[in-house]
A and B are shown apart, each in its own frame.
Chain A
Amino acid sequence: MTRKISILVVDDEESVRDSLYNWFKEDGYRVECAENAKIALSILESESFDIILADIKMPGMDGLEMLRRIKALKKESIIIVMTAFATVDTAVQALKDGAFDYVTKPFDPDDLSHLVRNATKQISLIEENEVLKVKVATLENIEDLIGVSDVMQKVLKQVESVAQSNSSVIITGESGTGKELIARAIHANSSRKYFPLVSVHCGALTESLLESELFGHEKGAFTGAVYNRKGRFEMADSGTIFLDEIATISPKMQIELLRVLETKSFIRVGGNKEISSDFRVICATNKDLKSMVEDGSFREDLYYRLNVVNIHVPPLRERQGDIPLLVDYFIKKYCMSMNKPPVTIDPSALQRLEEFKFPGNIRELENMIERAIVIGNGKKIFLKDLPIEKSFIESPYESLDDNEKSHIAQILNKYNWNISRSAKALKVDRVTLYNKIKKFDLKPLEK
């Protein structure tokens, strides 16, 4: 902690106030003194102190009453109670009322140093906790959800408005578009943010495993159930449960899930006691649930229960304007995690990324950047560092003829119009290549 800690000494004995004042001043603290509780409370109305050292026995309002009043105003105040007449009862009462510590006068110089050091440590922890809370609250929306494109801005607005409610949400979108990040952002911006966000990847578990995972099990419920185990719904109490790949769950699990969503209670596998849990549910899928309802593979009642709000995350090809920002973000992220100085990206490589269709969406882009940082020269990412297959680059032409013409011209130019080498690269014979040159009226580039 670098800032100056402030201490308020409250004691009716002048000699005690003077002693503590001098002692703390020598330690570099900001110190003020009050001769009774009334004066202390009026000082505290206009000024705040990190630590309050108060005597219990004072004329008028005693230290314990003052402690209660300060705590009622500011719960996190650190108050150390001092007394010359220590009794177990007063010590217990002081600690019950929220005193940080209780000491008997006079104390050893070392005890006083320890006492203040411990209190300072506690203040540091409280402040650190506040900073982390703010960081956690802003982490998801500021750092991870990146997008200036209109489609992404629309999604972010939806996230913001839906976060404040308790409604169930279905997040749809292709694989790799960042559906889980959206779920995290909803949770992080909701009033449930200080409670857990529990994720379950439904597609990765068999029916019986998923049942045990979601509802928990009692000891002996099945072979291998050696201990009682809490289920994910129980763990998500007061928080959010995120069910990824919801379309993969079996019809039996669909019924179970519907019942839990309606009653917010369930029974552990092998158990008989009903357990209640207050959770919010967010689901994600890359399937078209509506058509699954139509063909009967997904329960309609469950669909409507889950689909109170639908957020569709667009594929990366529909938000290509976000690619430079995402590239920049992933470069910073991976350079930092690999302890490398920040690298830049060559404009032609960036242009190629912006043209690429990314069937694997953001996940694919992220992997590409990570790979490029690992294998690159450590200063700049070039096109050669990116594993982009040319076949995935969208051709500007729609007709087969136009594409053929463009490709043959490109190969001819690449081999300086050496017909033998170009024919070999195109895997056609020389005559065929001559015929194509004639058909498309191809000519060497003017130098």
Chain B
Amino acid sequence: MSLQNITLISFGRFEQDFLDRLVKNVSHEFNITVRVKEGHIDLSDYYDSVRRQYNGNDLIKEVDAKYSIDSVKTIGIFNVDLFIPILTYIFGQAYLNGRTGIASLYRLSNERYGMIADNEILLNRAIKEVIHELGHTLGLIHCHAPTCVMRSSTYVEDIDQKNYNLCQKCRNELINLLG
């Protein structure tokens, strides 16, 4: 398998500068051109009125069906509160060794936790989250290295502890996976 393309699909409103910087950093980590496209999904179909959240399982299926193409890794970027039935929330999810992942900025912003909004911090977290989900689509599993971007993060503070980068072990694993 060779990585030919990465596409980020934005669902909802995002500042162009934010998306440009996101693309630049993701592109740098995987050393490949990353494209951005705008996507359109009627999110109300995925809204769970009891939980007042959006169903991440159904959304990833939809992105996979409508926006993903073989040999391209696609990450859908949202700005809504995602959940999966068993968990109270998720930052994002991906098909392991598949072609699709999703990530949401909703729980990555400071103001969600009663702090002053900070676009730099939000961007940092978004970059890590997108690279993390892309890593899963490429076949990487969670890593125990404290600063590796593939380390599992269940709290937003966990994301802040990580770097943007894959650790050497994950990098070697990725080279193996890509053949």
**Please, which residues of chain B bring their CB within 8 A of the CB of A26?**
93-94, 96, 136, 141-142, 152
B142 touches A28 (CB 8 A): yes
List, sorted by A's number, 18 A–B pairs whose CB atoms are closer than 8 Å. Answer: A15-B84, A15-B85, A18-B57, A19-B84, A22-B84, A22-B93, A22-B96, A23-B84, A23-B86, A23-B87, A26-B93, A106-B86, A106-B87, A106-B88, A107-B86, A108-B89, A109-B88, A113-B154
Which residues of the other chain, A, contact B57 by a CB distance below 8 angstroms?
Answer: 15, 18-19
B14: interface (CB < 8 Å): no
Measured between alpha carbons, how far is A20 from B57 in the docked complex, in Å? 11
Contact with A along B95-139 (1 / 0, CB 8 A): 110000000000000000000000000000000000000001000
Q: Is the CB of B87 within 8 A of A107?
A: yes
Residues in chain B near residue A105, CB distance under 8 A: 85-86
Binding site for A on B (CB under 8 A): 55, 57, 83-90, 93-96, 136, 141-142, 152, 154-155
Does A109 lie within 8 Å of B87, measured CB to CB? yes
- Interfacial chain A residues near B154, Cβ < 8 Å: 108-110, 113
Contacts of A82 in B (CB 8 A): 86
Q: In the complex, are the beta carbons of B155 and A110 less than 8 A apart?
A: yes
Are the C-beta atoms of A27 and B142 separated by less than 8 Å?
Answer: yes
Q: How far is the CA of A396 from the CA of B178 in the complex (A)?
A: 78
> Which residues of chain A are within 8 angstroms of B88 by Cβ–Cβ distance?
106-109
Contacts of B89 in A (CB 8 A): 108-109
Q: Is A256 on the interface with B (CB-CB < 8 A)?
A: no
Decide if B152 touches A22 in the complex (CB within 8 Å). no
Report the Cα distance A23→B84, complex, angstroms. Answer: 10
The residues in A between 384 and 398 inclusive whose CB is less than 8 angstroms from any CB of B are none
Q: Which residues of A contact B142 (CB under 8 A)?
A: 26-28
Listed from nearest, the 8 A-B pairs whose CB atoms lie closest are A28-B141, A110-B154, A19-B84, A109-B154, A15-B85, A19-B86, A25-B96, A27-B142
Residues in chain B near residue A107, CB distance under 8 A: 86-88
A113 touches B87 (CB 8 A): no
Q: A18 contacts which chain B residues (CB < 8 A)?
A: 57
The B-contacting residues of A in range 73-112, CB under 8 angstroms, are 82, 105-110, 112
A410 shortest CB reach to chain B, Å: 68
| Tally of A-B Cβ pairs under 8 angstroms | 62
Is A58 at the interface (CB under 8 A from chain B)? Answer: no
Please name the residue on chain B nearest to A19 by beta carbon.
Answer: B84
Which of chain A's residues 1-58 have a Cβ closer than 8 Å to chain B?
13, 15-16, 18-20, 22-23, 25-28
Q: Among residues 205 to 219 in chain A, which have CB atoms less than 8 Å away from a CB atom of chain B?
A: none
CA distance A112 to B57 in the complex (A): 18
B95 — which chain A residues lie within 8 A by C-beta? Answer: 22
Q: Is the CB of B152 within 8 A of A113?
A: yes
How far, in Å, is B146 (CB) from chain A's closest CB? 15
Inter-chain contact B87/A25, CB cutoff 8 Å: no
Please report the C-alpha to C-alpha distance between residue A25 and residue B154 in the assembled complex, in whole angstroms: 16
**B85:A16 contact, CB within 8 angstroms:** yes
User: B94: which A residues are within 8 A, CB to CB?
Assistant: 26
Residues of A within 8 A of B152 (CB): 26-27, 113
A23-B95 Cα distance, complex, nearest whole Å: 10
* Complex: A23 Cα to B57 Cα, angstroms: 11
Minimal beta-carbon separation of A80 from chain B (angstroms): 12
Residue of A nearest to B93 (CB): A22
Complex CA gap A71/B141 in Å reads 31
B83 nearest CB across to chain A (Å): 7
Give the chain A neighbours of B84 by CB distance below 8 A: 15, 19, 22-23
Chain B contacts of A110 at CB under 8 A?
Answer: 154-155
B141 pairs with A20, CB closer than 8 A: no
Please report the C-alpha to C-alpha distance between residue A26 and residue B150 in the assembled complex, in whole angstroms.
Answer: 10
In the bound assembly, the distance between CA atoms of A108 and B83 in angstroms comes to 10
CA distance A428 to B85 in the complex (A): 104
Which partner residue on chain A sits nearest B53 by CB separation?
A: A106
Alpha-carbon distance A122/B152, docked complex (angstroms): 21
Q: Which residues of B contact A23 (CB under 8 A)?
A: 84, 86-87, 93
Per-residue interface assignment for chain A, residues 382 to 424, with 1 indicating a CB less than 8 Å from any chain B CB and 0 otherwise: 0000000000000000000000000000000000000000000
Residue of A18, A107, A109 most packed against chain B (CB within 10 A): A109
| Nearest A residue (CB) for B94 | A26
CB distance from A3 to the nearest CB of B (A): 15
Considering the complex, give the chain A residue whose CB is closest to the CB of B61: A18
Query: Once bound together, how far apart are the Cα atoms of A301 and B90, in whole Å?
Result: 78
Q: Given A19-B85, A22-B95, A109–B141 Cβ distance below 8 Å?
A: no
Are A13's CB and B87's CB within 8 A? no
Who on chain B is nearest to A21 by CB?
A: B96
Inter-chain contacts of A113 with B (CB < 8 A): 152, 154
B29 shortest CB reach to chain A, Å: 18
Residues of A within 8 A of B90 (CB): 109
Chain A residues with CB under 8 A of B93: 22-23, 26
Task: Known contacts A26-B96, A113-B154; decide if A16 and B87 are in contact (CB<8 Å).
Answer: no
Q: How far is the CA of A22 from the CA of B155 in the complex (A)?
A: 19
